[in-house]
Amino acid sequence: MHRSPWPRGAPGAQRVWSACLLLSSIPFWCLLLLPDGAQKLRWASRPFFAAWQEPPQRTHSAAGNSAHQGVDFGPLQPHCEPGQVLLILVTSAPGNAASRQVIRRTWAAREKPPPYQWQVVFLIGQSPGEGASRQIRQEQEDFGDVLVGNYLDTYRNLTLKVLHGVRWALSRCRPSYLLKTDDDCFVNTERLPEFLARQNPLRTGLYAGSVFAREKRKVIRHPSSKWYVPREAYSPEEYPPYASGIGYVLSLDAAARVLRAAESVPIIPVEDAYVGILAQRAGLRPKSSARFAKQNARWRVCNFRYLMVVHSLGAPEQELATRRMREARHACRDRPEVTRW
Ligand SMILES: *[C@@H]1O[C@H](CO)[C@@H](O)[C@H](O)[C@H]1NC(C)=O
């Protein structure tokens, strides 16, 4: 883990810093003496999200680079193995420690080293008043699977949360595929990494999930709604086709294209619709698949040969789904395997 706030390879940075501490009562200014210090300071003094709210200034050629610039991911980030098939980004709130614990001991638990590498990372924001709480720091120390972003953890900031996670994934991990999901969802970790590595027919430009029908894509204009979006933020009355936030898979190239589009599309608080807008801008077509289930409908063992994400599970249901997923490894062998999305 890279805990030092200094850029890697800055020669003698530690020594300059120690000297500054000794000689100066205002170590703040010492930052300016360090290589790249002034830039760090500028970024430290403005919140991460500001980058998304400014009008686009970057030229297209600089765009590829900007996914790596200006974001200090801080010490609260997981270790990431390069060369993974799948990185699972789970949006979670600081107070949802119980849901995270359930996930860690159910579908995120490994019985043995998996044949197709995957990893789970929880995306969490700052708690009001205290930044990342002591409890989150402890969780990161114990499990190393928490990515804390520099944004306030509120429902209306969910879009920032996901952009931050995708940005981190692209600059630190670069898995072949990303899955964005929530902490009340089940993910079929027995099948999804293998399916992606072996059968998935769409190796690039992939954006797959449960795509909303047209009548479910109206922009909500009631200010009291959780999904309220004012006309100034997004003027069309309907969103383009987009995959439900319960779970969608992006190939690495698709994630990079989505992130690049975010530089020129004003942010809206409806995370999954925003990703749909970005995908459309990037020329990606969402692939709708029944492998992503919005309802938990007492799925049977054999369903877990096919289902990849199921939404709306409490703790006992996560346990049950995980048991069935593991049983499906050997059961239902007589059924033909579905190899399409
Ligand atoms: C989102 O996070 C930023 C940065 O912490 C904060 O200033 C802002 O109030 C948050 N927005 C909402 C809608 O919660």
Q: What is the pLDDT of residues 240-291, one digit of tens each?
A: 999 999 999 999 999 999 999 999 999 999 999 999 999 999 999 999 999 9
Report CA Rg, the chain.
Answer: 21
Is the C-alpha dihedral spanning 167, 188, 294, 253 positive or negative?
positive
Q: Which of 71, 124, 152 to mutate to test the pocket of ligand 1 (most atoms within 8 A of CB)?
A: 152
Kindly state if the Cβ of 48 falls inside 6 Å of ligand 1. Answer: no
Rounded Cα–Cα distance for residues 309 and 296 (Å): 10
Kindly state if the Cβ of 133 falls inside 6 Å of ligand 1. Answer: no
Q: Report the pLDDT value the prediction gives residue 251, as an integer from 0 to 100.
A: 98
**Among 7-11, 12-16, 262-266, 320-324, which stretch is predicted with the lowest mean pLDDT?**
7-11
On average, the pLDDT of the chain sits at: 83
Q: All domains of the chain, ordered by start, with CATH?
A: 24-49+77-289 (3.90.550), 293-330 (no CATH)
Q: Report the pLDDT value the prediction gives residue 174, as an integer from 0 to 100.
A: 96
Rounded Cα–Cα distance for residues 63 and 171 (Å): 13
Give start and end residues of each alpha helix (H) in the chain. 13-23, 37-44, 50-53, 60-66, 97-105, 134-143, 158-168, 192-194, 252-262, 271-281, 315-327
Residue of higher predicted confidence among 175 and 20 = 175
Kindly state if the Cβ of 156 falls inside 6 Å of ligand 1. Answer: yes
162 CA to centre of ligand 1 in angstroms:
14
Evaluate whether 195 touches 308 at the Cβ level (below 8 Å): yes
Q: Report the pLDDT value the prediction gives residue 160, as an integer from 0 to 100.
A: 97
The tokens describing 300, both together, are: 């049977």
DSSP-assigned beta bridge partners for residue 338? none
What mean pLDDT do residues 147-167 have?
96
Q: Report the pLDDT value the prediction gives residue 72, as an integer from 0 to 100.
A: 54
**Among 8-12, 137-141, 192-196, which stretch is predicted with the lowest mean pLDDT?**
8-12
Whole-model pTM?
Answer: 0.80
Kindly state if the Cβ of 152 falls inside 6 Å of ligand 1. Answer: yes
**43-102 pLDDT, tens per residue?**
333 333 333 333 333 333 333 333 333 355 777 899 998 899 999 999 999 999 999 999
What mean pLDDT do residues 285-300 have?
95
